[in-house]
Chains A and B, each alone.
Chain A
């Protein structure tokens, strides 16, 4: 924690084109909707992040404008990008910082890192980031696991999802978490592009006859069994969640083709059509925030306690200074300050005894020491007020976090 904020590093583990950037964008936008009216909101914590969010939104709008698209219409990341979001309670430096690193999914492949010194150099800090992250998000490409029917398609799925590399990262992360069991550890498997499969009862835009969320979950369990086992065996205390997110919401899968691919045999290319007039309808981000909030609750409490202790110490220190033994004269003027302040107010006393105040007895008295206590007391009071405001904001954030943490997950979420 730095200043008045809690910072969480959130790792992203997924192959190229799975929709990591779209997921972050969905968290950004939908988070704002979820927290609307609570006094807390989700903001881009720096200019680059704000720019990226705007760029992604524009790109998506352009794709949606065409009325239909293939999943690769939104280009994948080609370099490491830092996304810094913050749950802002209204304090400039307060809130909960969410630091997410996006990177080319191909970097998960050890061979790619071996073949490029640049990638290898960039991967090390990235890996460190992921390993110290309290939370790992694992985007799951839903069409790949749901639409693979033929043996050739099924054989390509592990390579398309980079399952082996993902499992290695999860295992490393879990071992790191196991070394600090008191620290939070959460893995969230996030099926994306699942608008066609996870279908609320009232949704009539998506031309599908039945909800296939159970099938999606079963396919996920089968496909990612190794990854879950790696986490469970290395860090039994870690939490794992299955949490599908509709990052767009306004699409429906029409068909899927499996064109040849030199590396994987075939690749999965779902073809979507735009529904609901292209209006973005993000679902599942609230569950994500709930999960984050739950894990943050305890961490926040500890951090808050640390912060409060720090402020309390500061106050006590300033109070002690203001009430120090000034000697006989000093003590006399302290008493005088107290009386005068009691009559005219501490602030007025301070004003009148400012160096630029009209020369007056009080100013002279200040020179002699009159007003010194009042000033020092005012400083102490101001710090106390700031502390109070911070406390209020923090309390509000706490309430929001607690409120979210207490909420039940939607029926889309499953504990693993």
Chain B
């Protein structure tokens, strides 16, 4: 039953018990019990919430301890051990609280029916519930009940089958066999289980002989997989009560003999059967058909205990004399011990477990023998010494009602409130105890660790330190670049790469001029011979040619822009590399100008406008022939025109003069070539004398960048912002550790706070251990 179920109608039973108590009184007590239980839910939920948080906090602390903490290995191991102990403590406390919650949220009295196979449990359930073999199968000679069933009184007739998922099937059905058989490995999927090869006991190895039964069961489960594999959905199936047997019972002997592999019950985790009970309105009663507890595989025991603690208020341990064994057996004893585990905080075992002798159809002698055996071995030779022993005939519903149901309910109506108190105080005391233990252990966990506030300060101080280091490192590397540029501009003098580039252009111009000014000597002369006589003068041709030559010389020298672009690219590369080591992640894989663009983007995104603008302005630096050098050499070319002014006399003069005839053509070519050579040479020399200019431009630009980046009033503040925004990228180890420590400290602080509150709560309630 789960919390949140609708309140059921008031319980009423018919009849009067042997003690003369009216069923009405029993019903009233049970109603009061249920109401009291519900009243405790709020506190239990509060504890569950608090301890869940504590559990999560301890989990986070344990996880954070997996990362390097800088502590000594021994101290870390000790710490881990303490944490493991606390986590175990908290887990047990939470388990306790959840079991209590299941108890207090239940609107019904759940009675479990257990006992060895063949003692009449199913018959008893039929008598109580009015259901038939089809829903609660019985059968001679072999175990029948395969699935835990709950039968609850309801106006409806239906069954809710909770199906295994593949994972729960493997964990709850297959895994216990593997564990008991000591098999290596475990199938991870149903298909793996299908193809798993199980061994056969070696006849020559006696130690394996006892495994045969389990292996037979396991192989039969495997062999019948096709009959239930499709049912492993993890869902809940609602169906009618007819044809329920295969889902709740083992195959019949006949079916087994016939070699059946139809075992759909293996896919059923639990069956909840709703049906009107025959004897009165017992809406607060649920009977739970438990499998033979002494016969379950060891791995399944813990699950059954947990289920019992969560779902069952009391257990009927049904025993029955038989012609072959009338006594209280070891299996019964194992079941009793298991039930004792399941009682939890209930102090009196006899309140939790009630023996039921099913004497239906058995001899008096056998009944008496069993009665005496129980009296001696279970109750220390005192009637009802430790456990109540009820007797009934399971096959007769009326007898069951008279001799079992009514007395049991009467007993429970008295003992359940006490048990509830015991459970309640027990879980609260345990919670208080756990809180105390955690409180005692916290100093050890906190030892040598900074608190959350101190860590916050450490974080800020570390960030400031890293930001300062970042600025220093960038400055150091940038300064080297600036110094190199200064040397190039002021001390090293002329850059031979530049002068060589200029000289190369001059050589090109010379070669061009000697090749008939790009036309070829023969063609140039031919043109001159055609044009000059036509114009009756040399000047029209020469004017055009001199313009063309002047423009060509300028155009060729503009190819120096290739050299300048290379200079700029080299400078961007050097500056990008200045940032590479201190803050490589900010540049990505880009280099040179692209890397600096990335950096600008990062700076702007980090609210560092001054630094971003410095990078932007740097990248806008221009170094080109037209802007920087041509104005300085323009004068050399301005004089290269057909007409000009004599600098000495101030009078107009003509640069070239020759007859416009055959002899004049060669002379003009020679003169024009000489003037071209001279103009190009003067331009080359002028450019070479300005060889320091490119270095000066670059030095000035980078120096300005350095000033803005490092020496401006905003530099420190913006470097700190950059560091803060990208600290995990730049220093993942440093801040990762600090963050882990801070989280740990925070979790410890929260844990301490939670524990403190728990202690206060328990102290206010007067819980033991608080």
Contacts and interface: CB of A to CB of B under 8 A. Distances in A.
A256 interface: yes
Contacts of A209: 639, 647
Contacts of B688: 149-150
A68 interface: yes
Contact of B685 (A149, A201, A202, A271): A149
A151 B499 CA distance: 9
A135 B680 CA distance: 42
Contact of A150 (B494, B653, B674, B677): B494
Interface residues of B, number: 25
Interface in A149-166: 149-152
A150 B685 CA distance: 9
B678 interface: yes
A119 interface: no
B502 to A, nearest CB: 9
Given A151-B494, A151-B496, A152-B496, A204 B680 contact: no
Interface string A373-392: 00000000000000000000
A196 to B, nearest CB: 10
Contacts of A149: 494, 499, 685, 688-689, 691
B503 A150 contact: yes
A51 interface: no
A202 B648 contact: yes
B766 interface: no
B685 A210 contact: no
Contacts of B674: 68, 254, 273
Contacts of A202: 648
Interface string B652-682: 0100000000000000001000110110110
A256 B688 CA distance: 13
Contacts of A255: 506, 510, 677-678, 680-681
B678 A254 contact: yes
Contacts of B500: 150
A234 interface: no
Interface in A194-232: 201-204, 207, 209-210
A254 B677 contact: yes
Contacts of A254: 674, 677-678, 681
The size bracket of the interface on A is: 10 to 19
B685 A147 contact: yes
Contacts of B510: 255
A68 B667 CA distance: 12
A201 B648 contact: yes
A255 B670 CA distance: 14
B493 interface: yes
A48 interface: no
B627 interface: no
B330 interface: no
Interface in B484-511: 493-494, 496, 499-500, 503, 506, 510
Residue with the greatest number of chain A CB neighbours at <10 A, chosen from B496, B503, B670: B503
A254 B688 CA distance: 17
A201 B649 CA distance: 9
Contacts of A271: 677
Interface in A22-74: 67-68
B553 to A, nearest CB: 13
Interface in B411-453: none
A410 B500 CA distance: 40
Contact of A204 (B493, B494, B649): B649
Contacts of A147: 685
Contact of A151 (B493, B648, B678): B493
Nearest to B636: A209
Nearest to A253: B678
Contacts, number: 48
B158 to A, nearest CB: 104
Contacts of B499: 149-152
A68 to B, nearest CB: 7
Contacts of B680: 255
A151 B493 CA distance: 8
Nearest to A256: B681
B496 A150 contact: yes
Nearest to A149: B688
A203 B649 CA distance: 10
B733 interface: no
Interface in B582-640: 639
B646 interface: yes
A206 to B, nearest CB: 11
Contacts of B653: 204
Contacts of A150: 494, 496, 499-500, 503, 688, 691
Contacts of B670: 67-68
Contacts of A152: 496, 499
Interface string B674-704: 1101101100010011010000000000000
A271 B680 CA distance: 13
A315 to B, nearest CB: 60
A128 to B, nearest CB: 43
Given A149-B499, A152-B496, A204 B681 contact: no
Contacts of A210: 647
Contacts of B681: 254-256
Among B500, B674, B691, max chain A CB count under 10 A is at B674
Contacts of B646: 204
Contacts of A67: 670
A149 B685 CA distance: 7
A273 B675 CA distance: 10
B634 to A, nearest CB: 13
B491 to A, nearest CB: 12
Contacts of B493: 151
B488 to A, nearest CB: 12
Interface in B719-768: none
B495 to A, nearest CB: 9
A202 B649 CA distance: 8
Give the most central of B639, B670, B681: most A CB within 10 Å: B681
A204 B648 CA distance: 7
A86 B678 CA distance: 41
Contacts of B691: 149-150
A275 to B, nearest CB: 10
Nearest to B510: A255
A256 B510 CA distance: 12
A256 to B, nearest CB: 7
A55 B649 CA distance: 39
A262 B688 CA distance: 24
Nearest to A68: B674
Interface in A244-282: 254-256, 271, 273
Contacts of B648: 201-204
Nearest to A196: B678
A102 B678 CA distance: 33
Contacts of A204: 646, 648-649, 653
A67 B668 CA distance: 13
Nearest to A272: B674
B425 to A, nearest CB: 99
A68 B675 CA distance: 13
A136 B446 CA distance: 98
A179 B689 CA distance: 46
B688 to A, nearest CB: 4
A255 B675 CA distance: 10
A143 to B, nearest CB: 12
Q: Which of B493, B499, B639, B678: most chain A CB closer than 10 A?
A: B678
Nearest to A67: B670
A182 to B, nearest CB: 47
Given A150-B496, A202-B648, 9 more contacts: A150-B494, A150-B500, A151-B496, A209-B647, A255-B506, A255-B678, A255-B681, A256-B681, A271-B677
Nearest 5 Cβ contacts at the A-B interface: A255-B681, A150-B499, A149-B688, A254-B678, A255-B677
12 contacts: A147-B685, A150-B494, A151-B499, A152-B496, A207-B675, A207-B678, A209-B639, A210-B647, A254-B674, A254-B677, A254-B678, A255-B680
